[in-house]
Chain A
Amino acid sequence: MSKFQKKKKEMPAVNTASLPDIVFMLLFFFMVTTVMRETDLKIKKPALPKADQVKKLEKKSLVSYIYVGKSKDDTPGDKIQLNDRISNVNDVPNFIFIERRKHSEDEIPLLTTSIKADMKANVGTISDIKQQLREVNALKINYSTLKGSAFDNVK
């Protein structure tokens, strides 16, 4: 009987004192990496085309976005969204100037314009935007795409 009683030692509880530290560490990691969505989409979310010759956009702070897609109430024609309102093609130069003011002089040639356009958008709309970008010498552009086979776009 005495043998059994000896075995009745309790397991020591795991020390959880460092748990808050671990959690805090993770918390800070996610706090630092989180990017909140700055702009609300006023148009329908563009269905991006797929491509495989893609490059990553490295510095997010140097990128300005132009959205192209259908309006939410399905009126025909492509709508262009700059920042958080639906705009006209002629507003693109102004938009670029406002973006440039946020950066220092030597960063301006590095600024990239990312075009997030819907698969069904017309090339005409895109080309109008490109023409406006050329007018103000914002020459670095990026056609935003998903990774995948380009042949999936056309079926």
Chain B
Amino acid sequence: MARRGTPEINAGSMADIAFLLLIFFLVTTTMDVDTGISRKLPEKQDPNIVPPVLKEKNVFEVNVNRNDEILVEGDTYMKVNDLRAAAIKFIDNGGGTAESLQKDKLTPCTWCGGDKDPASSDHPKKAIISLQSDRGTSYAMYISVQNELVGAYTDLRNKYANKKYGKDFKDLSRAEQKIIKTDIYPQIISEAEPTK
């Protein structure tokens, strides 16, 4: 009896099958990465803790009402487009003198490019941005305001990084970023409970 070898499987259509699968995965692939504004929520507070007393000049108050209008420092009506410049002016003011900052173990802000107005913030480490919105404020407006406030810090950090290291903030090493984040321009944005 003649032994016949097993017939070979025709692999010619393999490429077609692979192509079919390839096209399927090509179509279903989503390459986009999720982006967004990252924030850290404050930890739950002990109700008995008395909040520290802040000087009013060190607080930059931003109010957004239910008609999406912005009120800054309780008296200036502002458009979103101007918010960033106003925030930068406030943070970068650095109006504190050596004596007034001594009890907080700070030295006057030498890197600040602001007006040194004694009626505005003393030091970037003491400058607090307080954001109060209404429950009826639209999310779009809320994000725009958040974006501008975070943007103010980004601009200042970039300016400092360019002056000191000749690079943008995001191109610096972790250690250099950390110095700027904690000692030069710490981001202090406090959010109050929205008004009803």
Instruction: Report which A residues bind B (CB closer than 8 A).
Output: 16, 19-20, 23-24, 26-27, 30-31, 33-37, 49, 51-57, 60, 63, 68, 112, 114, 117-124, 126-127, 130, 133-135, 137-147, 150-151, 153-154
Contact = CB atoms under 8 A, between A and B. Distances in A.
A147 to B, nearest CB: 6
B34 A141 contact: no
A54 B34 CA distance: 10
Interface residues of B, number: 49
Nearest to B30: A35
Interface string B141-161: 111101110110010000000
Nearest to B68: A154
Contacts of A146: 35
A154 B136 contact: no
A135 B44 contact: yes
Interface in B49-95: 64, 68, 80-81
B80 to A, nearest CB: 6
The 10 closest A-B pairs by CB, nearest first: A124-B135, A30-B25, A119-B140, A153-B140, A150-B147, A51-B147, A144-B36, A54-B35, A121-B139, A123-B137
Nearest to B18: A23
B9 interface: no
Contacts of A60: 34
Nearest to B152: A53
Contact of B143 (A33, A37, A150): A150
24 contacts: A20-B14, A20-B15, A30-B25, A34-B25, A35-B29, A51-B36, A51-B143, A57-B35, A114-B34, A117-B139, A123-B137, A127-B194, A134-B44, A140-B38, A141-B40, A142-B36, A142-B38, A144-B34, A150-B143, A150-B151, A151-B81, A151-B144, A153-B140, A154-B144
B136 A122 contact: yes
B2 interface: no
Given A120-B140, A140-B40, A53 B147 contact: yes
B37 A27 contact: no
Nearest to B151: A53
A12 B29 CA distance: 38
Contact of A34 (B28, B44, B136, B142): B28
A51 B144 contact: yes
B44 A55 contact: no
Contacts of A51: 36-37, 143-144, 146-147
Interface in B141-196: 141-144, 146-148, 150-151, 154, 193-194
Contact of B22 (A27, A68, A124, A142): A27
A122 B41 contact: no
Given A55-B35, A121-B139, 18 more contacts: A20-B14, A23-B22, A24-B18, A27-B21, A27-B22, A33-B29, A51-B144, A56-B34, A119-B143, A122-B137, A127-B194, A133-B41, A142-B38, A143-B39, A143-B146, A145-B35, A145-B147, A151-B80
Contact of B35 (A24, A119, A127, A147): A147
A150 B44 contact: no
A36 to B, nearest CB: 7
A139 B38 contact: no
**Which of A51, A126, A142 counts the most B-chain CB atoms under 10 A from its CB?**
A51
